Amino acid sequence: MRLVDSLSTTARMAALFSDESILKAMLAFEVALARAEAGLGIIPKAAAAAIESAARPEFYDAETTASASLRSGTISIPFVKALTEQIRKIDSSAAGFVHWGATSQDVADTALVLLLKEAREILQTDLGRLEDSLRHLSKTYAATVMLSRTLLQAAVPTTFGLKVAGWLGAVRRDHARINDAFDQTLILQFGGAGGTLASLGNKGIAVGQALARKLSLSYPDAPWHTHRDRLAALMCSLGVLVGSLGKMARDISLLMQNEVAEVAEPIAEGRGGSSAMPHKQNPVGCTLALAAAYRVPGLVSTFLSSMVQEHERAAGGWQSEWPTISSIVQEAGLAVASMAEVAEGLTVNGDAMRANLDATRGTIFAERATVLLSEKLGREAASSLVDRAIEVSSTERRNFVNVLAAIPEVSIALEAATLQDLRSPEHYLGVAEQFRRNLLDEREFSKRLVDGHMPEKQASAQKKSTGSAAKKGNKS
């Protein structure tokens, strides 16, 4: 990992997009192509064997290839030239069968797809860690009451379990979108000079299908040299994921402020310290995710701009993609890994959450008080009484419920037990727990019914089941 990239990637992601890894992916394409063509009798089997024996990354100098690409306009041309020369040393007659029927973009795009395939596995692992940890946190703190905050101000009570479930819900939705995008993106690129595979005659599709099987990739309906929609969907999906992780990181970093102190990132040697202030414990994991959330939207925009590609081969758009894609994927990988580490070791201070609730002096129950009084006195009168109590509570720094209870109209309208109950945040959580369970997808069937309506997926499944039963009945 280079120093300049140290806050924008992980060790695994950096290794994946290293020179050696890229060369390995390009060589994998050439070997698989040779095997596929040899299997179909298009090139000699001896040539395929020679190509395979030359396919070792250490045989090639990445710096030389990179320098030459500035003149060729693609990394593929100097790469294929170097591969051909290496094969010539092994079997001169085999050198003429290198890259047979393919074009430069075929090897470059397929190599990129192979790298993305590995990136998917890395992301899947860390997303699994993150989701497991968030689920555990949500269950553990399902009943831990805290302040909700709107416009950064104290609002009404909620639970930390619901807050965490909200983060989890977003991550799970993002994960599903990314999986769909990867499924669409992990496809072979093989179209030859102009996207028709004309040099292979009527065997083009057979070669492409065999090549796709050997690389464990899907085979598309047609080459996609200048159709970058699949890649764009993946980049956008990764951008949304990073945004969700940035939201989670922002919440946690705000909750970590000393004057709030409701949660804390894990403590470890060398993690989150300050070079000047030994007392500090900085939200380093959140900081890395937030840094990614600042950078990735611009990168996604850059990729979308590069989609406007000319005819069957782009001049500039395609050539701009590799560094953009590499950066987006690595930033996403860092954000996921960072927040997984944060979630796995997050310390939750329930006492601080309760203290911050109490610090509002009960004003967070003003909404509930208005609702209760409105039932007895009407909305206008109730609002007037609550506003008066809030003003006194604020100026005299007294508990809002005590002030409210001392107002004669209130004590007449509300029973003492009701006023006492008004002090309890646990009694003003509405359907927070049901929402939490919904987000964790742990709803029982009875809890899925809302106002007599069934969620779309459940309704669809029951409709199919009913339809199947009806058909069986008709048959009998």
Question: Which of 288, 299, 282 has the alpha carbon at shortest distance from 249?
Answer: 288
Do 338 and 270 reside in the same domain of the chain? yes
Q: Residue 365 has what DSSP assignment?
A: G
Do 355 and 252 reside in the same domain of the chain? yes
274 is catalytic: yes
Catalytic residue among 313, 388, 423, 443: 313
Do 109 and 51 reside in the same domain of the chain? no
Residue 135 lies in a domain: yes
**Based on the structure, what is the number of domains in the chain?**
4
pLDDT digit string, tens, across residues 220-262: 999 999 999 999 999 999 999 999 999 999 999 999 999 999 9
Residue 211 lies in a domain: yes
Do 468 and 368 reside in the same domain of the chain? no
Residue 21 lies in a domain: yes
Residue 7 lies in a domain: yes
Do 259 and 241 reside in the same domain of the chain? yes
From CA 38, how far away is CA 50, in angstroms rounded? 12
Do 331 and 301 reside in the same domain of the chain? yes
Nearest 5°: phi and psi at 347? -100, 130
From CA 55, how far away is CA 35, in angstroms rounded? 13
Do 212 and 238 reside in the same domain of the chain? no
Do 109 and 98 reside in the same domain of the chain? no
Residue 435 lies in a domain: no
Share of the chain above pLDDT 70, in %: 90
Last residue of a domain, one of 360, 381, 403: 360
**Which pLDDT score is estimated for 11?**
95
From CA 271, how far away is CA 274, in angstroms rounded? 9
Do 179 and 251 reside in the same domain of the chain? yes
Residue 404 lies in a domain: yes
Catalytic residue among 274, 305, 394, 460: 274
Residue 430 lies in a domain: no
Sign, CA dihedral 181-186-188-189, equals: positive
Last residue of a domain, one of 312, 333, 360: 360
Question: Which of 25, 13, 16 has the alpha carbon at shortest distance from 76?
Answer: 25
| CB neighbours of residue 165 within 10 Å | 28
CATH number at residue 236: 1.20.200.10
pLDDT digit string, tens, across residues 262-321: 999 997 665 555 455 555 578 999 999 999 999 999 999 999 999 999 999 999 999 999
Residue 214 lies in a domain: yes
Q: Which domain holds residue 449?
A: 444-475
Residue 468 has pLDDT above 90, yes or no: no
* pTM assigned to the model: 0.89
Q: Residue 60 has what DSSP assignment?
A: S
Do 389 and 325 reside in the same domain of the chain? no
Do 81 and 163 reside in the same domain of the chain? no
Do 305 and 398 reside in the same domain of the chain? no
pLDDT digit string, tens, across residues 342-366: 999 999 999 999 999 999 999 999 9
pLDDT digit string, tens, across residues 421-447: 999 999 999 999 999 999 998 654 334
